């Protein structure tokens, strides 16, 4: 038996982009900036303090290292990808939440056995005020297009009547 060596393969077009993995601290840094796992999104500096041990670092160095880390060419695309995923997740959660609210309002509006008449009317009112229905909307659109000559003429007429000419 002969030992066969693996053939050397050569990439013909383009270069393979190596996928860099994040360390746990880098991942926590990105999550803190986006707002994952924390109450509010953090600044670069606060996120750096949260993810790394900064006990012996000055504020200037923390700011410098946080900025340098965030603008790392390997970290930025991963941040953008995770940020888009988080936004999509939040959008999906909001749609699900609004769907549940609408279905509960519809249930309340049609609950003649247990609901009061006031609660049914209020549920119907809230359903009517939804953005897609706008049944009880008080917004009035008063856009009227006039040429500058028409506006000038109207102003001159009003001035004449005010001055008594």
Q: What pLDDT, in 10s, does the model give residues 64-97?
A: 999 999 998 888 888 899 999 999 998 898 888 8
Which burial class, exposed, middle or buried, applies to 31 when counting CB atoms under 10 A from its CB (0-12, 13-18, 19+)? buried
In the chain, where the domains are located = 24-91
Which burial class, exposed, middle or buried, applies to 48 when counting CB atoms under 10 A from its CB (0-12, 13-18, 19+)? buried
The conformation of residue 20, written as its DSSP 8-state character, comes to P
Q: pTM for the complete prediction?
A: 0.55
66, 47 contact by CB (below 8 A): yes
Is the confidence at residue 16, as pLDDT, over 60? no
The conformation of residue 17, written as its DSSP 8-state character, comes to -
70, 26 contact by CB (below 8 A): no
Q: What pLDDT, in 10s, does the model give residues 46-62?
A: 999 999 998 999 999 99
């Amino acid at each position: 038996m002969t030992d066969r060596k693996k053939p050397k393969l050569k990439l013909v077009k383009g270069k393979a982009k190596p996928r860099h993995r994040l360390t746990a601290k880098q991942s926590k840094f990105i999550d803190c900036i986006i707002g994952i796992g924390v109450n509010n999104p953090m600044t670069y500096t606060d996120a750096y303090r949260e993810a790394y041990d900064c006990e012996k670092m000055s504020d200037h160095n923390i700011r410098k290292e946080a900025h340098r880390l965030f603008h790392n060419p390997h970290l930025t695309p991963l941040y953008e990808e995770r940020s888009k995923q988080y936004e999509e997740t939040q959008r999906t959660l909001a749609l699900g939440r609004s769907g549940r609210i609408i279905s509960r309002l519809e249930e309340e509006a049609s609950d003649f056995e247990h609901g009061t008449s006031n609660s049914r009317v209020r549920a119907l009112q809230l359903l009517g005020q939804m953005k897609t229905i706008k049944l009880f909307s008080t917004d009035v659109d008063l856009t009227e297009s006039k040429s500058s000559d028409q506006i000038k003429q109207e102003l001159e007429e009003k001035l004449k009547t005010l001055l008594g000419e």
